[in-house]
Amino acid sequence: MNERLSNIKLFYRILTISIFVILAIRFAQLQLFNWDQYFRESEKNRIREVILESPRGMVYDRNGEILIDNRPAYSVSVVPYEFLQADSSVTLLSSILDQSPNAIKSKINKEASRFRPVKIKRQISFATLSHIEEFRLDLPGVFYSIESKRFYPAGIRAPHLFGYLGEIDSKELKYRKDSGYRMGDLIGKKGLELQYEKYLRGEPGVKYVEVDALGREIRVLEELSTESPTPGENLYLTLDANLQRHLEGAMDGKRGAAVVLDPRNGEILAMVSKPDYDPKTFSKPITTKLWKKLVNNEGKPLYNRACQSVYPPGSTFKLVLAAAGVETGLINPQEKILCRGAYRLGRRLFRCWKEGGHGDVNLTEAIEQSCNVYFFTRSLEVGLENWCEFAKLFRFGKLTGLDLPNESTGTVPDSHYLDRKFGKKGWTRGLILNLSVGQGDLLATPLQMAYLAMILGNEGLGFRPHLLKKHVDPTTGVEVVQEVKSRRVQGISSKTFRLVKLGMYMVVNGQRGTGRAAWIPKVKVCGKTGTAQNPHGEDHAWFIGFAPQENPEIAFCIMVENAGSGGAIAAPIARGMLSKYFDKRQKFALK
């Protein structure tokens, strides 16, 4: 009996010693070997990393007028480890922010770290901020910070150029994982905000603050290194704010686009797409209801008609056929064609826009009066392949290289295209007649047509259209000027260009010119009207051109959807724009 009792005592003695040995080893492991790791974890409960948002770069026009500025706004963030300790905190914050608890938890769960702040809602009102302060003790781990929102002081809409900001999504975050972005950060989504995100964004800073058990800030820890945010670079655009405002007003209430270029360097002086929307719409978080309203709007205000929409260019494209015919020798510029108001091909009549006909016209007269019959006749002599070759020389069917996302190439229907669509020998010469006057499957953007006007005005020299003039570091003052890239059209002589330019001069200045509504005093304006048939409604009105005739300073395209005659609708808009530009130039010259 005594021996059994002795064995039991020995067992418990060994068990007790073993437990203390295990505890000692574990204590040594925690306090000695893994001290750094657990100290850092405990510090996370005491020290909060606060991200300091970097001011986004501002945007100016070519003359230094502010187009896009920043204004302060409050945003709410939470530290998941502190905030999720009690469901009551989630319920309370959801009622203050008018968000569902599940929506808040969903945002939090997207962040991998439980100690890194997660942005829950941005641009809260002062009243909401006051509610959060009022319930501070019941909202551990909740804090607010100041960030910037976009502001547009110039009264210019141009949302298709400016673009907008939005929260980075998981796909973008994965793509930019090495660029320092975090969930909840703002990033450029469209337009220049997206195109030049790398310049505009800047680099965020960081500071460290000590917090109590309720997540309230006690003091800034000066002993820990604080990094100040680096502001984004400022963009100086090629836009002329006055010209942009004028064209936006002239195009208001219409559907269409206007593009104005400096043919000496490819700088875009103005670019308008209508209908549009107020850029302030996206300077604050957009609701699902408003987004659906914009997307489903029949006017397609989110779409940039200047460089994304493609249209049949109508009679403006007769200039390409003229250049192709003269350069290949298949058109004698002096030879006249009799226009009686229609051209017969087989059993079909292809009508001229002037019912009684234009009589005998040569090349320049045909351009001046936009005679369809002349170009119908010449198109069969020039042929589809020559026409396509010269259309591509002018970069139709290709990107111009504009520094905006999602530019369209348009379509130049060559024989391979027509074979695919209609089958071999499934298309007739009537298609060539339609193409010669800018109809059929030929499609171009207003930007491409302005580019054509630039090349014709410069007699073969084109520049890549661009919106960025330079970007400037606001802290150092260092500026980087945008490289100007030029292209010269090969295979077209100066003589050919001069013949086409003469015809364009007569369009505006000749007695029978279809574009006389674009005439302004003291400036030799050259242009070409177009009235493109539209199977879905009224004709599209076109007018392209440049001025002056020699050494042009401005090239442009005006296109108004479903408006009718280019000479009656688009040309007067061009006249107003040209008057605005040259009046300003003359005022500066007098100073």
3-state helix/strand/coil string of 401-452: CCCCCCCCCCECCCHHHHHHHHCCCCCCHHHHHHHHCCCCCCEECHHHHHHH
Q: Would you state the pLDDT for residue 252?
A: 96
6-39, pLDDT tens digit by residue? 767 777 777 788 788 787 777 666 666 655 555 4
DSSP 305: T
439-450, pLDDT tens digit by residue? 999 999 999 999
225-244, pLDDT tens digit by residue? 788 899 999 999 999 999 99
Give the pLDDT mean for 405-416: 96
Q: Which residue has the higher pLDDT, 103 or 306?
A: 306
CA–CA dist 502, 323 (Å, integer) = 12
Kindly report the CA angle at 445 between 439 and 450, in degrees rounded to 5? 105
CA–CA dist 580, 270 (Å, integer) = 12
94-116, pLDDT tens digit by residue? 999 999 988 888 888 877 677 77
Q: Are 251 and 281 in contact (CB under 8 A)?
A: no
Strands 468-472 and 234-237: antiparallel
CA–CA dist 525, 509 (Å, integer) = 8
- Asked about 145 being catalytic, the answer comes back as no
Q: Are 54 and 232 in contact (CB under 8 A)?
A: yes
Closest CA to 504 of 318, 372, 361: 318
Query: Residue 449 — φ and ψ, nearest 5°?
Result: -70, -35
376-409, pLDDT tens digit by residue? 999 999 999 999 999 999 999 999 999 999 999 9
Q: Would you state the pLDDT for residue 4?
A: 67
| Res. 523: pLDDT tops 50 | yes
Closest CA to 566 of 495, 507, 478: 507
Closest CA to 503 of 451, 544, 446: 544
CA–CA dist 295, 79 (Å, integer) = 35
CATH number 3.40.50.2300 is the correct assignment for the domain at 241-277+306-590: no
Q: Would you state the pLDDT for residue 586?
A: 62
| Res. 539: pLDDT tops 50 | yes
CA–CA dist 157, 67 (Å, integer) = 9
Helix (H, G, I), strand (E, B) or coil at 561: coil
Residues 504, 509, 511, 512, Cα dihedral to 10°? 30
Closest CA to 229 of 445, 55, 407: 55
Q: Are 472 and 478 in contact (CB under 8 A)?
A: yes
Terminal-to-terminal C-alpha distance of the chain: 123
DSSP β-bridge partners for residue 260: 270, 556
DSSP 57: P
User: Which percentage of the chain shows pLDDT scores above 90?
Assistant: 65
348-379, pLDDT tens digit by residue? 999 999 999 999 999 999 999 999 999 999 99
The full set of domain ranges for the chain reads 48-237, 241-277+306-590
- The kind and range of the H/E element at 487 are strand 486-488
pTM of the full structure: 0.89
CA–CA dist 449, 260 (Å, integer) = 11
pLDDT mean across residues, the chain: 90
Query: Residue 503 — φ and ψ, nearest 5°?
Result: -60, -40
Strands 267-274 and 486-488: unpaired
Residue that the structure tokens 């269409």 belong to = 256
Give the model's confidence band at 591: pLDDT under 50 very low, under 70 low, under 90 confident, else very high.
Answer: very low
Residue that the structure tokens 């599209």 belong to = 540
Q: Token pair for residue 409?
A: 């190439």
CATH of 48-237 among 3.20.20.80, 2.60.120.10, 3.90.1310.10, 3.40.50.970: 3.90.1310.10
Give the pLDDT mean for 508-532: 97
Strands 66-78 and 118-124: antiparallel
| Res. 590: pLDDT tops 50 | no
| Res. 548: pLDDT tops 80 | yes
Q: Which of 315, 379, 436, 565 is catalytic?
A: 315
Residues 350, 356, 361, 363, Cα dihedral to 10°? -50
